Amino acid sequence: MTNATDNYQGFDARLKKIDRNRARLANGYSAKVTREGLIVFRPKPRARGFSVRGLAFLVLGVFLFKAMILAHLGSTIYDQRVDALKSGTVVEQAGAFVMQKDQVSSVIAQYLRPFVK
């Protein structure tokens, strides 16, 4: 009788292992052929932390956004609006800090000005 329960527990453990493996493979996998010709599937590693490429796109997007607004409004009106934000709430002051005119945005705005107006 103990032999049957041992077999059942071993079978149950194998089923749980198969379920865990299938759950990990559901998020993506890569296949590799071993030397013996066996195809082995391994789960793809999860991305951890932050993406440098994503951060670079975010910074580039902020510069392009500022340049588009600067090209559309012009330098004087843009400066007036940023100054108005500086005298507002804490959130508006943070927005004014981010939206300050800088060299990168000014150069991009010069290139965009013929397309915007």
pLDDT digit string (tens) for the chain, length 117 residues: 567 676 778 888 899 998 988 888 888 888 899 999 999 888 888 777 888 999 999 999 999 999 999 999 999 999 999 999 999 999 999 999 999 999 999 999 999 999 886
Predicted pLDDT at 95: 93
Predicted pLDDT at 49: 80
Rounded (10°) CA dihedral 103, 106, 110, 114 = 160
**Model confidence pTM above 0.75:** no
Q: Which residues of 93-117 are buried (b: 16+ CB within 10 A; e: fewer)?
A: eeebeebeeeeebeebbeebeeeee
